[in-house]
Amino acid sequence: MSVVEQRRHLATAIPGPRSQQLQDRKAASVSAGVSTGLPVYVERASGGILVDVDGNQLIDFGSGIAVTTVGASNPRVVEAVQRQAADFTHTCFMVTPYEEYVAVCEKLAELTPGDHEKRSALFNSGAEAVENAVKIARAFTGRQAVVAFDHAYHGRTNLTMALTAKAMPYKQGFGPFASEVYRAPMAYPYRWVGDAARVAEEAFEAFAAQVHAQIGEQNVAAVVIEPIQGEGGFIVPPAGWLRRIADWCREHGILLVADEVQTGFCRTGDWFACDHEGVVPDLITTAKGIAGGLPLAAVTGRAEVMDSVHAGGLGGTYGGNPVACAAALAAIETMESEDLCGRARQVEELFRSRLERLADKFDVVGEIRGRGAMLAIELVRGGGDTTPNPDLTRAVNAFCHGQGLVTLTAGTYGNVLRFLPPLTISDELLHEGLDILEQAFVAHA
Ligand SMILES: *Cc1c(COP(=O)(O)O)cnc(C)c1O
């Protein structure tokens, strides 16, 4: 296994000449629809460092969008993948099954919220998991309508595109969208138009009134919620809001689907973001952090709901691939043995103290928010003007990239910088990355 020293190193400009050559080859061979946020071509990665083809070493504050939570090329994951690949790479679980798939479902039953009887089904991507959760909810309830929220992101397939809120780039030109998908107001404290102290109540009341008037509760199969919104800008709803939605769903025989594709697996300082609110969803979708970088996703839920689907109704050629399952078991073992939930809470403390200092110096930092190692700052014009500031967000992001720090943006208005470091990264690298962020504000704010 290649050893990568856990330090930042700039050998060339970012991107360097070899990355630029590859970017030219990309333009001539890869669809323009597939864009890249930071066109440095990665050759190796380990822990919190990405090494590019020009020999630059970058600090990773993105984890491949919340995927390599256990660190890039985590040694346990690598070993499990190599061993499983040598044993067998594929049989299709629907043809001839294998233990690894069952073992992942057992772990999901143990770790997801609630101690009721559960079942799972495995898939390849977050979108596929969300899409299947909707299928299952419709089959179980015999109802069709699905409610999602403003700023939601649930994927790029036809159904999940319909659930996703943002037109550009996710939906623009790709309609018509799946029917029976409805959108409700999100409890977004920073931009709530009503009484700021009553966001949870007002947002819930607006949601319930809208569903009642426009859809009818008896027609709703599921409410699909990100407990903390991801692509929408790490929007954290106020305490109590999720619980009120959960109680209301139960009252009306509607399934609560928690989309924890981004928030799951220690990211927010708990195994799942619902744990923080003590909310037990009927179905939970997971992916991203589950398998240390291999493609795996799951729907886990109440046994009677999951078992209501006819045999053959769920599945797919690759869903629960044995190599991905072996990786997931190794990743989960790492999260348990290294207490990565605890580590996410430490990362939050470190980040918050630094980001608060930043906000004291620069009034363009409108809000610091998030939980655990899923943190963000929303950038505004400043001086009391909370108009979104996407230009500054882009400039700060580009400055960080140029200094060898991988950062990501998010948000409906493109004005959120989000931080998703791997949980095995050292405090030293976190501080170094945050120093670069501060320099970016000095240069651009
Ligand atoms: C990323 C994401 C998805 C889609 O997952 P893919 O693996 O990209 O299909 C769905 N929901 C949430 C909350 C996500 O963050």
Q: Which of 289, 304, 337 is the last residue of a domain?
A: 337
Residues 82 and 122 in one domain: yes
pLDDT digits (tens, 9 = 90+) for 136-190: 999 999 999 999 999 999 999 999 999 999 999 999 999 999 999 999 999 999 9
Q: Which domain holds residue 390?
A: 17-73+339-444
Asked whether 131 lines ligand 1 (CB < 6 A), one says: no
pLDDT above 70 as % of the chain: 100
Which residue's CA is minimally distant from atom 11 of ligand 1? 154
> Per the domain annotation, does 37 fall within a domain?
yes
Helical residues (DSSP H) of 307-372, grouped into ranges = 322-337, 340-361
Whether 44 and 94 map to the same domain: the answer is no
Strand pairing report for 220-225 and 255-259: parallel
Distance of CA 163 to the CA centre of its chain: 15
86 and 230 in a common domain: yes
What integer pLDDT is reported at residue 2 of this predicted model? 63
Tell how far CA 156 is from the center of its chain. 14
Q: Is there an atom of ligand 1 within 6 Å of 237 CB?
A: no
Query: Which atom of ligand 1 approaches the CA of 128 most closely?
Result: 9
Give the ligand 1 atom nearest the CA of 226.
13
pLDDT, residue 350, reads 98
- What's this model's pTM, rounded to 2 decimal places? 0.98
Ligand 1 neighbourhood includes 258 CB (under 6 angstroms): no
Residue 240: what pLDDT?
96
CA dist 100 and 172 (Å) reads: 39
Residue 7 lies in a domain: no
Choose which residue among 156, 157, 262 to substitute to test ligand 1 binding: the one with the highest number of ligand atoms within 8 A of its C-beta. 262
Give the chain's mean pLDDT: 98
The reply to whether 12 falls in a domain is no
**Position 5 pLDDT exceeds 60:** yes
- What is the CATH classification number for the domain harbouring 107? 3.40.640.10
- pLDDT tens readout for residues 277-310: 999 999 999 999 999 999 999 999 999 999 999 9
Tens of pLDDT, residue by residue over 90-132, are: 999 999 999 999 999 999 999 999 999 999 999 999 999 999 9
For residue 208, name the pLDDT band (cuts at 50, 70, 90): very high
Which of 63, 65, 153, 418 is the pocket-test mutation for ligand 1 (most atoms within 8 Å of CB)?
153
- Residue 380 sits in a domain whose CATH number is 3.90.1150.10
Verify whether ligand 1 is closer than 6 Å to residue 370 (CB atom): no
Q: State how many domains the chain has.
A: 2
The yes-or-no verdict on residue 3 having pLDDT over 90 is no
pLDDT value of residue 242: 98
Same domain, 112 and 44: no
Q: Is the pLDDT of residue 1 over 60?
A: no
Whether 290 and 264 have beta carbons less than 8 Å apart is answered as: yes
Per-residue pLDDT at 196: 86
**Residue 133 resides in a domain:** yes
What confidence score (pLDDT) does residue 309 get? 98
Three-state SS for 139?
helix
**Residues 56, 87 within the same domain:** no
Q: Phi, psi (5° rounding) for residue 36?
A: -125, 135
Structure-token pair, residue 33: 């629809």
Domain match, 22 and 143 both: no
Quote the CA–CA distance of 419 and 141 in Å, as a whole number.
Answer: 38
Site to probe by mutation for ligand 1, drawn from 34, 128, 130 as the one with most ligand atoms within 8 Å of Cβ, is: 130
Instruction: Check pLDDT > 60 for residue 348.
Output: yes
Any atom of ligand 1 within 6 Å of the Cβ of 281: no
Residue 262, ligand 1, Cβ within 6 A: yes
For 224-235, what is the mean pLDDT?
Answer: 98
Choose one of 305, 321, 337: the last residue of a domain.
337
Give 169-184 pLDDT, tens digit per residue.
999 999 999 999 999 9
172 plus 267 within the same structural domain: yes
Q: How many H-runs (helices) and E-runs (strands) does the chain carry?
A: 14, 16
In a domain, 9, yes or no: no
Could you tell me the CA-to-CA distances from 299 to 55, 71, 134, 179, 192 in Å, in that order? 40, 24, 10, 22, 32
Element containing residue 106 per DSSP (H, E): helix 99-111
For residue 268, CA distances in Å to 64, 262, 340, 347, 409 come to: 16, 9, 10, 10, 18
Task: Read off the amino acid at residue 37.
Answer: G
Are both 223 and 292 inside the same structural domain? yes
CA distances from 167 to 94, 175, 210, 243 (A): 36, 10, 22, 29
Residue 11 domain flag: no
Sheet of 118-123, strand order:
118-123, 297-302, 283-286, 255-259, 220-225, 145-149, 181-184
Please spell the DSSP secondary structure of 80-98, one letter per residue. HHHHHHHH-S---TTTS--
Please check whether residue 247 lies inside any domain of the structure: yes
pLDDT in tens, 51-84: 999 999 999 999 999 999 999 999 999 999 999 9
225 lies in the same domain as 359: no
- Assess whether 88 and 236 both reside in one domain: yes
Whether ligand 1 lies within 6 angstroms of the CB of 184 is answered as no
Query: Which of the listed residues 285, 317, 337 is the one where a domain comes to its end?
Result: 337
Atom nearest to 230 CA in ligand 1: 15
Q: CA of 106: how far to CAs of 10, 115, 118, 300, 326, in Å? A: 44, 12, 9, 10, 13
Backbone angles phi, psi at 136, to 5 degrees: -65, -45
In terms of domains, do 384 and 245 share one? no
397 within a domain of the structure (yes/no): yes
| pLDDT value for 409 | 98
Which atom, in ligand 1's list, is nearest to the CA of 260? Answer: 13
pLDDT-derived band of residue 30, with 50, 70 and 90 as boundaries?
Answer: very high
Residues 370 and 271 in one domain: no
